[in-house]
Structure 1
Amino acid sequence: MAVKDKDRNVIAQNKRASHDYFIEETYEAGIVLKGTEIKSMRAGRMNLKDSFARISNGEMYLHNAHISEYEQGNRYNHEPTRARKLLLHKKQINTLIGQTQQKGYSIVPLKVYIKNGFAKVLIGLAKGKKNYDKRETLKRQDAKREVDRALKERMKG
């Protein structure tokens, strides 16, 4: 039931993340927002393309996530691509610091959603894919699509 609630309130998804990275672990983090940002997010005006998370001074920040300016927000509007603080437990941040120091690992936001009235970011510990890995993933997806299509035709006939 909780999964359905999360998917129903998804605001933005990073679809390129699963194409460009192997996602090894996921963490749910709160996000610190201004008033006009949450209003704009609830209207669905957010983009996670090219965004990433970085740890600095023991705190995690989300960079390059674009939240469009709120149309009714006058001079109190926010900057669309400012760095936003992510709320995680200190223990989680410490494990992420240790894991991202290994070569090839980074922290990527996967989706943003509303849960119990609060904006949450699902971030993943990701390892970059090589080009041959990406081609292999595409081949696997095409094969699965063909099998599903054949089964669907078989069920009809």
Structure 2
Amino acid sequence: MQYYLLFLVLAASVLIGTEGWLNDIDGYLSFTCANQAHYVSRISSMHSNRAEDRQWDFECQPFPSVAGTPTCDWSDYANRFDYWLDFVCQTNSYLVGASSYHSNYYEDRRWRFFCCSQPEVSYTDCKMTSYVNAYDGYMDYAVPSDYVITGVQGIHSNYYEDRRYKFRICKLQ
């Protein structure tokens, strides 16, 4: 009986808590890698049908063979509520962070992105991933080895009150 109660408490904390997530449901999200010579290497997200919002987590890895000081900048908001999200970092820049806020009226998020570039670094083999999540589904996207995220696309559904996401990834040259 004790183990059953412990399981229920742990399951409830996972379903309604912020354990392991960077934002509260309906809350503000702001994340940047601890070092600008790092890049976002994994993005995880869980959707709540009750709140019609997502919680987010990001992981970072060091940029290989850093040659100088990165140049970084925050974007303007890349989307309007309920509209298509289509963001690409500036030339030879890679994703280092993101911020967003949620609207309960629209049940959607507006996004800004933090991108950095390294001197003398360029990319090849840029491509779009397929959608990495289903509506209302869990997301766990790990960037392939030797690639960085250079853009984000997202489509919103008013029926599901959720977004599906794709990432533009490029291979380090």
Shorter-normalised TM-score: what interval? under 0.3
TM-score, L = length of structure 1: 0.27
* Higher strand fraction (1 or 2): 2
TM (normalized to structure 2)?
0.25
Highest relative contact order (Cα 8 Å, sep 6+), 1 or 2?
1
Structure that is richer in helix per residue: 1
